[in-house]
Amino acid sequence: MLGLLINHMEHREIEYLIKRELDEILHDLEDPRIDHLVKEAMKDRYQTLFQLFRRVAEPNECFKYMMNANKL
């Protein structure tokens, strides 16, 4: 187990970065030009990032991305 000590501004920055990455993955998953195998790897990455996001975000923010995760 690891611990991390961050201030409020760093917390918000981490949350913002994860949200941007989750949005980008969701956008790329809709691209028909991307190979199925690559999309599977992207789905795995989404799940990992979502688990991290749950640790730093408010529950109401998580709900929006949880609904998108269910579509995967």
Tens-binned pLDDT, residue by residue, of the chain (72 aa): 888 899 999 999 999 999 999 999 999 999 999 999 999 999 999 999 999 999 999 999 998 888 766 666
User: Is residue 1 in some structural domain?
Assistant: no
Q: Assess if residue 39 is contained within a domain.
A: yes
Asked whether residue 60 is assigned to any structural domain, the reply reads yes
Q: Is residue 2 part of a domain?
A: no
Q: Is residue 58 part of a domain?
A: yes
Q: Please tell me the distance from the alpha carbon of residue 22 to that of residue 54, in angstroms, as a whole number.
A: 12
- What was the pLDDT predicted at 9? 97
Contacts 24+ apart (CB under 8 A), 42-47: 43/72, 46/22, 46/72, 47/72
Supply the range of the domain harboring residue 45: 8-71
Number of domain units in the chain = 1
Global confidence as pTM: 0.86
DSSP-derived 3-state class of residue 72? coil
Task: Answer yes or no: is 59 within a domain.
Answer: yes
Q: Looking at the domain assignment, is residue 33 inside a domain?
A: yes
> Does some domain include residue 46?
yes
Instruction: Say how many CA atoms lie within 13 Å of 56 toward its Cβ.
Output: 22
